[in-house]
Structure 1
Amino acid sequence: MLNCVYVDSPTDFVVDSRAIAKKDDGKVTCTITNPSGTKTENLITPQADGTYRISYTPFEEGRHTIDILYDGLPIPGSPFVVNVRRGCDPKKCRAFGPGLQKGIVEKANAFTVETKGAGTGGLGLSIEGPSEAKMTCKDNRDGSCSVEYIPTEPGEYDVSIRFADQHIPGSPFKVPVDKHVDASLVKAYGPGLEPSQCRTGSPLTFKVDASKSGKAPLDVKIRSERGALPQHPVIKDNGDGTYDVTYTPPPEGSTVKANIIWDGKEIPNRLGTFLDI
């Protein structure tokens, strides 16, 4: 009837009454008696297919007697005997939180591990990646623990979570780690931002260096007192955290302004953004 029932581990089984002629007052009842003689609460849930699902969580080790009645009469095989033992089931553990989705360099990245209902076993945590990452774990005294880790280099990290020396579902977790996104760390420089280099009709290029910030969208708006330029600037991603931006200046006598936006914020570290042509 039931296999591998553990102390403090939620479990369930199904009672199939579909072969019995339906009665308006027919119902399933269940009594679970523990080794000490006390009772364990259970939840009976009627299913759409005419069966009943009975759920309970044993809290004592040893022989449990399960009496199942339909319309006041024992069903065939009742009472059933189930031996509950202390054990472990890593599949009943789970881990979740933002620190398992992505991480930030030099920041405390957090996630939670729940072991409630998994039985008895030790919890093992490790992280491997481009750098050593300091990890701390706090027992919440409710079957869960809060974990934080601080990586020092960007890249992909493997976060391994084991219960009783076995990986829990999803472990090892592949976590991309990047630098903190900060527009104040982005700089722009080059001929395209120097008034002395600006000539009508001659394409100009300047560089945006975002290598010290985490990845984010780059937007560049170049306009004169007459409005936006007819052609949008061309942005080339160099793949190393830097970008080359090329644009064609407006007619002579114009004043050009470059707005360089990183992650929705205008960068403060730029040179020569007001160009007189």
Structure 2
Amino acid sequence: MSANDQPTPSGDGLSHGRTGQTSTFHLKMPPITDEKKGKLSMGISGPSKVALESKHTSDGFDVSYVPLEEGDYQLTIKCDGKHIPGSPFAVAVEKDPTFVPVSHSEKCKVTGPGLKSGVALEPCFFSVDTSEAGHGPLSFSIQGPSQADIGPSERGKTGYDYQFLPKAPGDYVLHILWGDREVPGSPFTSKVDRNPKHKGSYGRPDKVVVNGPGIKEGKVNVPVEFYVDVKEAGPGAVGVAVKGPSRAEISFTKGGDNITKVQYVCTDPGVYDVTVKFSGEQVPGSPFTANITN
């Protein structure tokens, strides 16, 4: 197909749109002179998944789509496998403040063996099908004896496949949310067994070093901090609990060289027990006694 016989696009949907509103453009097709040519393909990618819908007209196609999130999108139109002039088109989608995307977490379908059990140091697989659940986003969190990062499955086939890698045995609690709401069955508890192929240690709580003023003293309503050094301890997760006259707000900041900064704030003076665990076991010196004063 020569340059003069290329499809001709026109319309606002080639350049901009608004969340929750239908964007449109028209694609004028040249007369067919060779049935083996003129194969058309279109796609759009960006912050949200968008489906293109097209309808035949007397001279081509009317194409529409509804973006759900603001941001920059890329609209691709190809003919016989090659971009038409102007493709890919940059589409800027603005936010419509009146648009509230609808999500149906109850329609998510979650399956897979990794939701119930697994083996340490081996991937645990599961799938989340959101095809009938409206607008997300999909998010995960997991707590357990070790850090277990969640990501797309290496053996995934459907586009809904995920995995996490537990680095130590124990119970892992997996939260799966769609549109900020738990999906059916969440949170899931996966019981991870020891790996018979692994002969070494999964983590050494006795190698953890804790230091800083927060394990001894502090002031009320002022962040008190201490540091947990796990660089010699192997795989595992740090757990902290503070008990005393008032409830303590605890926050964690991971730094370089496997050192975690822990901060907590107490609203009442008194003596507090600061418990530090690694892979579910007390580290040397824990629980620590901290005197919090006015």
TM-score by length of 1: 0.34
- The TM-score with structure 2 as length reference comes to 0.32
